[in-house]
Structure formats: C-alpha cells, structure tokens
Structure 1
C-alpha cells in the first residue's frame, strides 16, 4: 500500500496544474532527505519531473530543484543524462534570454557533466539566439552565456555562474581540453582566454569552476608554450594574482615580477577559498613540466610568491602543494631522460587529486 509520500509523488503528474504545483513544492525537501521515493516504478517519478521542466515557471523551478538534488544518485544521473530529448530541451531553454530558470538549468548541467558520457555535449549543435552572438555549437553558446551573461547582463534572472563547473568537468576529457586551447573560427578567440579574466571574480562558484577548468586544461602539456606566451593564453598573471596578498618583497624580486604583480594595493587579498589557492599552485606545478616553463617562473620570481603563500595560508593542502612546486623551482635541472620520468610522475600525482563533488541546492 502506498505511503502518504508516495501518493504525494503521484500527484506531480496530475492534470490540474494547481494540484501539480502544490505537490511538487512540498516534495522539494524530500528530494534530499528521502530521494528513494522518486525511484519507484523504474524511475517513473523522475520521468515525470523531466516533463515538468517544460511546465509553467514555478512548477518547472521546483522540478529542476528536485532533479538537481536527485542527480547525486548515479542511477538517476545516468537516466537523466542519457535522455536525448530532455537534453535538447535543456540546451534550447538555457540560451533563451528570458528563461526564468536559467540558473537552475546551469546547476543541473553542472551535475549532468559529471556523467562520463557528457563529453558528447561537445558535439551538440543548435541555432543560437541572435542576442547571444554565438555560432551553432552548444559548447560555444555555453561559453558566451557564461561571459556575456554574468550579473544578469544577458538574462536579468540569471548569472550563469554554475556553467564554470560544467567547463571544469568537460575539461577532464582530452578532446574538450583541446577545444579550450584552440582559437575558434566564429570569433577568433581562444576560449580559455575568455575564462581567465574571472579568476578574481566576486562569485565563489565562478572562481572555483574557472580555477579547475584552467588546471584541467593545463594537463595538455603541448599547449604550455601558449599558456605562458603573452601572445597566446598568457595565463601566469591570472594564476598568480589570486594567490598573492599585500606582502612586500625585496626590491630585486619585485622588479623582476610580472608587471601585473608589481605595486599591488595595500588592501590586496588572496582568494578567500584555500581550495582555489591549492588549485592554482598545482596548476603552476603542471606548467613546470617543460624547461621553458620552469625557467620563466624562475625569471619572474614565482618562488617568493609561493614562499609567502606557504607562510601565510594555514592550510595543509596549500602548504603541501607549495612544497612540491618549490622543490621543482629550486632544484638543479636533471638529465633529459630522468626529467621526462619525473614530469610524468608529477602530472599523475596532481591528476589523482581531481575533485568529483556533485553540485547540490
């Protein structure tokens, strides 16, 4: 015999929209405390929820919130992430400039991108709204939404911050990492250069996602010359600024630092999230995988910045990451054969620390 909760779940498919609205609103907290009630009858309630995302705004809002919570379950995640018609709806709705639940759609995509098969997002195409100024590739549309849509500039009801988490997860796949590092024909811009400007953004979510996207992209060692070139991606200033505070350095050190790191204001602060600081230090370590990278970091005095970070950030993960980087920067160069083996081990060590937490609301 069905329980009261199971009966309530059944009402989300009721033909009367008022009954659907009351039922689904009351079910939101149970999507976290008792998610099993949505897994009955071969996930039939989840199927209904996917349909309700197309409903009126308030019902769609609650349906999306429940789906975001439920996709922490691997069975439900796969069930949702492999529904082609549902994905088509999600992508077509999120780019609409007046979509009221665009941020919830971004959160859901942040979860769906955890599914291994999500790399297929990369190949999706759809017509872009004229207001977005993008091409027909969904990945480019998401990138332009993220850049142009911050703080309600594209859709007054959305900031699209959670798309940063989508990019971070997609960048774990080699093919998509290469996308972030290649100039796009429709606007002649390298996607990662669009993201790097957000490393000191006010949004914790945006900063965290961008930090991890940059780190994942840095596993493409052949692209490191572009990472470090002022004419290419030029990533160093955007990695170093978030880990730099207002401390003073010796004149000789400060004069050799990158121009963006000289004469910082007295109220300059490091990123408030120590996980971001650790991510950036690990990215710097990845960028020492080539001799050119190590020599450049020595030349622009990265070591004093890492030394101060180690001293001033009381976090074990940050301090261990700093120790690893300092060992690389301060040691003598090894013979080429030994160096290649050491670099392979360094990349594997950092890769093992990847963060796979699902987004929940």
Structure 2
C-alpha cells in the first residue's frame, strides 16, 4: 500500500494535466489527520509533494486549485507540514491574492487555508505586509493586508462581495493572529485609513448566525483583552461590553429586576422575548472568560459593577446548568461581589505586580484557573479557596 501511495504522490508533477488531476482527487482522503492517517506519504522525497501542491494551487482550473488547497489545509494539522506551507512568502502572497480576488471561486477555501496557516508563529509577519496589485483591488481603501482582510470579512457577508464566498472562516484567522503581540496591537489600534479600531468592526458578529463568525470573534476579543492596559480604552468606547454580554443575556432580561436593568448598557435594557443566548457552550465560556479578564483590574471591576454584569451572568448560570459555565461564573461573581477596599487605601502598585504575574502565565487557554486575587502580600487561587472550609480564610480584593 505504501509503495502504491508513493507512486500516487509522484503523479502530482506528471506532465499530463489529466494525470495530475486524478492523483489530486485521490489524495484528498489521505491528507486528513486521524489515528489511521496516511499523510506521511506527503513527506516523500524530502516533501516534494508539498512543493507540487503549491504549484498546483496556482492552476487556472478551479477544481485543481480546490483539491490542492484542500490537501494543504488538511496537512496544516501537522506542525512540520504547516511550517513548510506558512513560511513560504510566495505561497502566502498567492493565498492572499485569492482571498482578495472577489471573483475567485475558491475564496472561502483560501480563507480556511489562511486560518490554518495562522497557527504558525511565523504568520505574525502578515501585519507588515501590503496587498500586491492584482487588478481586483478597487474596493480596498488600504493596501495593508490586515485592513483588507478585516474589510472583506466585514462587508463580504452572505456573498455580498463574492458570489462564491462569504469569508466566514477569516474569523479564525483573526482569532489565531490575535495571539501575537503584533496582532493584538493591530486589532486594538485606530487605523489611519478609516480612523476605526479593527476589533470594533468585529463586535457586531458576536451574535451572528454563522458559528464561525461568532466563535472566531469571541476568541479574538478574549485574546485582545490580555492586553490589560487597553481594556479601559475599549470599555470606554461603550461597544465591547454590550457585544460580550448580548450572547449571555436571557430573553427579555428574564430574572432581572428594574434596578438591575437600569444599570445595563442601553443595548441590553430592552431585550425582547426573541433574544437568543449563545447556543454553543464553549463560545459562551469564551465570552465569560472575557468578562473574567475585565475583572483583573480595580477599574475593570468597578466598570462591570456599574453596568450590571453580575445579574446577567447569575441568570445565565441558572439557565445553562453546565458545570463549566458554573465554575467560571463562580469566579466572576467572586471577583465582583467581594467588598473592595476604599479607594484611598487602594494599592495600585500591588495590583500592577499581580497583573504582571498574571501576564507571565504560559497557559493562557486555562488562565481562569490560575487567576489570583491579592490581599497585601498574599495571593490565593480559586483551587486553594475551594479547599478551604473556614470563612476567615477567604481573601479580599484590593
């Protein structure tokens, strides 16, 4: 079987187009990750099939490009394949041209491939790249690649720009590239060409019909909030908190009294009975983790209290009846409902030290379980508190 597959991948650079096409269509199934995966065949002759696939991705025939890029997208699950694909500047430029060509029949597939490539740290270079002229760029007001991608994602919903593509999967590209410091700086910085902050353009998609758009946007928001110094600027724009809370709010603000509702941002004061909470538990948790990140500073906690966040998450927990949701809601409530020290006794230096320690956490995905709450020289984690039975060991937020 191995020899037969090696022969099959060797046909990827056959002189006859028909032979290459047959080889491609038969190889798609072997590119998928899994316990019985055969994708090691693409390492044949020092990764020659990868080089062939990149060439075939430039073919004029849409079906050839589709099969070649499907295989390359699948192979990005493997670190070594992904690095070979993502570090190739010429190939990256090709994929970007395909996405920004609004007549491209494989536009969405190119978005998937780009998003998979974005799992490579080398993709941080995309924030310094400019769009090369391919004759299809009149719609773009900026030549900066990230600006082009944000705009095509924002305006390209429901095939409005390209009848073949809706660009939903770019949401995952934004999520993965917001892991980088350069990415977070871009998403949270006002751009010269339109005086807009890119992250704000994404906020309306937290309640979108597309799961890809909701999920990718949720992770992008969460990643950007790891830049603690940018949090209050984003909150004061009065758009990010409603975007996070809307997917968490119950229909008609069920369970909230008049006093609770009066504290809410305007966008949440008059929710009707058709309001839908986020149906996917993992996305809900991601939004809740964003709320928890906003609890890291005293300013953030005060802002959340004054905007009625506690009742929203309290009622969501009752509705969800999910252990993961309950755990993170417990952490949020713990941060928001404890008595703060008076502001004249507030130790901002201690808080900065706590924040710096928090930002050094290597495991950002599981940051919630590592978050500490400081009292003087002592910090205690949620797990340590859970092990304590005595009230006098509960610590106070500074």
Q: For 1:304-343, list aligned pairs within 5 A.
A: 304-334=311-341, 335-336=346-347, 337-343=349-355
Q: Tell me the SS of whatever aligns to 2:365.
A: coil
SS at structure 2 position matched to 1:297: helix
Kept in 2: contact 1:162–1:205 (CA 8 A):
yes
TM-score, normalised relative to structure 1: 0.92
- How far apart are residue 275 of structure 1 and its match? 1.1
Q: Distance in 1 between matches of 2:124 and 2:107?
A: 21
In the superposition, relative to structure 1, how do residues 178 and 197 fare at CA in structure 2: closer, same or farther (>3 Å)?
Answer: same
2:165 corresponds to which of 158, 178, 193: 158
SS of the residue 2:97 aligns to: helix
Higher relative contact order (CA 8 A, sep 6+): 1
Shift of 1:315: 2.7
User: TM-score under structure 2 normalisation?
Assistant: 0.84
Give the Å deviation of 1:292: 2.3
> Does residue 293 in structure 1 map to residue 297 in structure 2?
no
Unaligned regions of 5+ residues in structure 1, if any? 356-361
State the Cα deviation string for residues 282-326 of structure 1 (Å, max 9, x = none).
111111233222112111211011111222213332222111111
Secondary structure of residue in 2 paired with 1:29: helix
Question: Could you say which residue in structure 1 is the equivalent of 2:378?
Answer: none
Q: What is the Cα deviation at residue 348 of structure 1?
A: 5.8
On the 8 A contact 2:264/2:309 being kept in 1, the answer is: yes
Root-mean-square deviation over aligned CA pairs: 2.0
Q: 1:139-165: per-residue Cα shift (whole Å, max 9, x none)?
A: 111111111111111111111111111
2:76 is the counterpart of 1:71? yes
Closer, same or farther in 2 for the Cα pair 1:130/1:118, shift >3 Å? closer
Contact kept in structure 1, 2:285 and 2:325, CA below 8 Å: yes
Is residue 258 from structure 1 mapped to residue 265 from structure 2 by the alignment? yes
Cα distance between partner residues in 2 of 1:158 and 1:202: 16
Q: Which whole-Å CA distance do the structure 2 matches of 1:354 and 1:160 have between them?
A: 29
1:76-126 Cα shifts (integer Å, max 9, x gaps): 111111111111211122100111111111111111111111101111112
Tell me what 2:52 maps to.
48
Q: How far apart are 1:343 and its partner, in Å?
A: 4.2
The Cα shift of 1:263 comes to 2.4
- CA positional deviation for 1:52: 0.5
Corresponding residue of 1:18: 18
The answer to which of 25-34 and 188-197 deviates more is 25-34
Larger radius of gyration: 2
CA contact (8 A) 1:192 1:233 kept: no
Aligned to 2:248: 243
Match of 1:277 among 258, 277, 284: 284
Q: For the Cα contact (< 8 Å) 1:228–1:234, is it kept in 2? A: yes
Distance in 2 (alpha carbons) for counterparts of 1:338 and 1:141: 42
Could you tell me how far 1:248 is from its partner in structure 2?
3.3
Higher mean C-alpha deviation, range 97-106 or range 308-317: 308-317
User: 1:20, CA displacement in angstroms?
Assistant: 1.5
Say which is worse superposed, 208-217 or 144-153, in terms of deviation.
144-153
Quote the residue 1:57 is aligned against.
62
- Tell whether 2:19 aligns with 1:5: no
Gapped regions of structure 2 (runs ≥ 5): 368-398
Structure 1 runs, 4 residues or longer, greater than 4 Å off? 341-351
Shift in Å at residue 268 of structure 1?
Answer: 1.7
Matched, 1:103 2:115: no
**Which residue number corresponds to residue 37 of structure 1?**
41
The secondary structure found in structure 2 opposite 1:28 is: helix
The 3-state SS of whatever aligns with 2:114 is helix
Q: Match of 2:233, SS?
A: helix
